[in-house]
Structure 1
Amino acid sequence: MKTSITLAIALLLFPLLAAAQKPIYQSTDKAGPVFSDTPTPGATQVDLQPINVIQTPKVAPSSQLPQAPAAAYGQLLITSPANGDTFWVNSGNLQVQVYLQPPLNSTLGDTLRLRVNGNPLPRSFTSNTINVTQGDFNLAADADNIQQTVQVAVVDTAGKVLIESPSISLFLRRHIQYNWSRPPMMSA
C-alpha cells in the first residue's frame, strides 16, 4: 500500500520537477514584458532564485484529542420582536433576533431551536437572526388564535436543552380586503 502511494506521488510530482528544470526567457513586445519557456528572437534568459523551503517539525501523535469544553451559556434573550408586539403580516414570515452570551458554539453541534406555543419548529438555526417561513410557522402556530407565544432554546446534538430564553407574546393579524364596489345582496 505504501509503495503504491509513493509511486502515485512520484508520478504526480515528475511533471512539476521537469517543468522546474526548463529555463525561462523574457522578451518585450508592444504590450510589455513577456515570459516564456521557449526562446524567441531577442529574448534573454532569466535566472530564478531557488524556491524557499521550510522544514516543519514533526508533531508527535496524540493518543487522545483534547475535548473542547461544553459552552456554559449565561444569557439568552429574544431582542426582536419585543414582548407584546403586533405584526400585520399576510406572508406569515417572521424574523426573530436573539442575544446569546457567550456566542453559539456550533463546532460542538449546538443549535438554536425556536418554539411557537411550546411546539418546536421542524428545523434548527445557527444564526442569531432566525428567519421563520410561513410553512414552518404554520406547523407550530395556533391558526385560530392571534396571540402566539415564542421562545428560543440552545440545544446540543443529543437534544438536551442547555439554556432557554424567557417566552414572549406576539399578536399576528392579517389584512383582509373587502370588495366594496358591489353593494351587498339583499334578499326579499
Structure 2
Amino acid sequence: MSKKEALTRAAAELLWERGYTGTSPAKVLERAHAGQGSMYHHFSGKAELALEAMTRMSEELRDRAERALDGEGGAVARIDAFLDLERDPLAGCRLGRLTQDYDVVTDDRLRAPLAEFFSWLDERLTAVLAEGVRTGELRPGTDPVAIAALIMATVQGGYVLARAWQQPEAFQRAVEGVRRVLADLRADPGQD
C-alpha cells in the first residue's frame, strides 16, 4: 500500500472514530506509520487529507448501497437488502457522524462529499420506491420522496439512539419500524 493510501485510510478511520475536529495530523501519521514529510508530500494539509478520506468513504458507502438497491427482487426486497447491510450501530454512520462536526458543516468543500452522498442515496431510494409504485408492488398514492426521507432518517436516527443508549438493538428497532411502514404500503400485503 502506498503512503498516500495509508494516510487516506488512517484519516478515514480517525474521522469515523473522532470526527474532523478530533482528528489531528499527528494521529493520522501515527496510525499510518508515516513520517511528517509523507503527509505534506501528498496533501496540502489536514483539510485536503480529510476531503480525500471523506470522498473515499462516500464512494465505499455508495458502492455497498448500490449493490443492495440494484439487487434481485422487487422494490421492497431491495430496500430490505439496503436495511440489512452490515453495520456497527455503536460506531455510527461514517458520514452521518461528520454532519455533527461544526468545522465540516461550515466548510462547503468538506461538506460536499456528505451532501453528495446523501443526495445520491435520497434519489436512489426514491427511484426504487417509485418503481415499486409503477409496478403495483406499492399502493398508488405512496409518496416515494417522503418514504425515502423516512428511510434515511430512520437509519441515521437509529445510529443516534444506539450510540446514546449504547444499545445496538435500538438501531434494529428503528429499522424494524420502517420495515413495518413498507409492509403497510404494499398493494398486496401478502407479497414476499
Give the TM-score band, short-chain normalised: under 0.3
Q: Which has the higher helix share?
A: 2
Q: Which has the higher strand share?
A: 1
TM-score (norm 1): 0.24
Report the structure number with the largest CA radius of gyration.
Answer: 1
